[in-house]
Structure 1
Amino acid sequence: MSFEEIKKHITRYRDEGKALFTTSSFQSHSLVLLHILSRIDPKIPVVFINTGYHFPETVRFKDEIAQSFGLEVVDLKSDVPKFMQRGQDGRLLFTSDPDHCCYLNKTQPVDSLLLRHDVWINGVRGDQSAVRKAMKVEQPAPHGSIRFHPMLDWNAKMIYGYQKEYNLPKHPLESNGYLSIGCEPCTRKVDPDMMEREARWYGMNKVECGLHTDLVEKQS
């Protein structure tokens, strides 16, 4: 989807009186959508899902990008305090039940956010996973909201081209071998024989946090 097509969709949503927001992990590839939105409407809230487990480099980078792009970034946190996020053995959930950890810290907070918004602008790309490849540009989400996926047909080469054209900064951990960056306990460096997202939840038989599986209306 081109810049003009993305702008047309957002203008239509605005004309219809819809409440918009986007989410971002502030990885290097995520900045392309943020930069596009900053050129269209920098007032669209950018939600940073603050799990409490992010690399400190990510948090600092988020603040730098917000200032550089002129974005309104909002931290979204779980209502469940960390001392209650423990398994029967007393250990934090990311060590024993990462699915439930993701649910409490990511999926549940965004689900609540969808109650108050109409359109979730989401930067998933079809080349990232089979789950994402099966998505549509516009897709129903919970509570009568819509997921808008403007980057769905973009690939890594297109992302790189945009980054180069606009001289976008890179996440500080990328030069250290981290290409898919999430929560610190569940992220590792990418080995030469690994796909990019295999560095997330390595060895846990898990490839998605739930945002792109649970927060999609099931269609018959």
Structure 2
Amino acid sequence: MLDDIASVTTDLHAAGTDARRLMHAALTGPVRGRVALVSSFGAESALLLAMAAEVDPAVPVLFLETGQHFPETLVYRDDLASWLGLRDVRTIAPAPAAVAARDPEGQLWAFDADACCTLRKVEPLDDAIIPFDAWITGRKRGQALTRQALPTVETTSDGRLKINPLAAWSPKEIDAEMTRLGVPRHPLSARGYPSIGCAPCTRPVRDGEDARAGRWAHLTHQKLECGIHRTPTSG
């Protein structure tokens, strides 16, 4: 397995910032079948999913079903997966017993957003990612201060590869490519939601605000990440 990781890492670095070459290297290389794509099926998710479907529509796609999503997101997930021909979209949910014990009223987000994200996103993904040697994300450098130095390829502390094919893409480039491909848009995108998370923690963005200003806007302190990308990494 270590030889496979080393080989695909070489191929990924050779691809540079070319998103389609990165996707092809990840999904057809020596770790093929052991790579998952993690998607929120949010405002810009269709582009990454379309690129993956072009290479391998059977790639496992992990969707974190927090139980707090906008209804539009769940409909969009199913419609987009069908439109792209994705054959292995897996809905990953927190353990019912854990939710019953730690958030029985579904209000944890209101007084401890970090704990809510840990329960509903971090812990379920930690379990779901165990069978995989690598995973693909849709993160971009321009999304938040925490992502400005984001590389296209990372090695996590547990030895997995994390691949960010769209790291260098700007919102304008993503929008143009989505338009060119004709992929369906998330219905909330046209209603002022450039970044879409759980319904209780996401509001529309006002003119002049950062694209992620509507995320966790109810908090008195700044929160930029849900925590699933917390693991220390190296390029």
- TM-score in same-fold range (> 0.5): yes
Structure 1 partner of 2:227: 210
Q: Is the 8 A contact 1:188 1:202 kept in 2?
A: yes
Q: 1:80 to 1:201 in 2, by over 3 A?
A: same
Q: 2:144 aligns with which of 129, 132, 140?
A: 129
State which of 192, 197, 217 in structure 1 corresponds to 2:207. Answer: 192
SS in 1 for 2:135: strand
- Pairing partner for 2:134 from 119, 124, 130: 119
1:73 maps to which of 72, 78, 89: 89
Give the partner amino acid of 2:188. Answer: L
Q: Deviations over 1:150-190 (max 9, x none)?
A: 11111111101111111111111122222211101001011
TM-score (norm 1): 0.90
1:181 has 2:235 as partner: no
Q: Is the 8 A contact 1:18 1:119 kept in 2?
A: no
Runs of at least 5 residues in structure 2 that lack an aligned partner in the other structure: 1-16
Percent identity between matched residues is 31
SS of 2:126's equivalent in the other structure is: helix
Per-residue CA shift, 1:13-44, capped at 9, x if unaligned? x3245600011111231110000000011111
- Kindly tell me: are residues 20 and 91 of structure 1, through their superposed partners in 2, closer, same or farther at Cα, counting changes over 3 Å? closer
The equivalent residue for 1:48 is: 63
The aligned residue for residue 7 of structure 2 is none
The residue that corresponds to 1:139 in the other structure is 154
Task: Give the whole-Å Cα distance in 2 for the aligned partners of 1:91 and 1:70.
Answer: 34
Q: Report if the CA contact (8 A) 2:154-2:233 is conserved.
A: no
Verify the 8 A CA contact 1:6 1:150 in the aligned structure 2: yes
Distance 1:193 1:139, change over 3 A: same
Out of 22, 31, 37, the position equivalent to 1:6 is 22
CA distance in 2 between counterparts of 1:52 and 1:11 reads: 30
Q: Cα gap change, 1:100/1:15 in structure 2, threshold over 3 Å: closer, same or farther?
A: same
Contact 1:114–1:142 (Cα < 8 Å) also in 2: no
Contact (CA 8 Å) 1:122, 1:150: kept in 2 or not? yes
Taking the aligned partners of 1:122 and 1:179, their CA distance within structure 2 comes to: 17
Contact 2:19/2:166 (CA < 8 Å) preserved in 1?
no
Distance in 1 (CA, whole Å) between partners of 2:27 and 2:64 is 26
The answer as to whether partners of 1:120 and 1:148 remain within 8 angstroms in 2 is: yes
Distance 2:19 2:223 in 1: 33
| Per-residue deviation, 1:80 | 4.7
- Contact 1:18/1:118 (8 A) holds in 2: no
Gaps of 5+ in 1: none
Give the TM-score of the pair, scaled to structure 2.
0.84
CA distance in 2, matches of 1:27, 1:194: 18
Where do 4+ consecutive residues of structure 1 move more than 6 Å? none
Q: CA deviation at 1:70?
A: 0.8
Q: Check 1:191–1:7 CA distance in 2 against 1; reply closer, same or farther (3 A cut).
A: closer
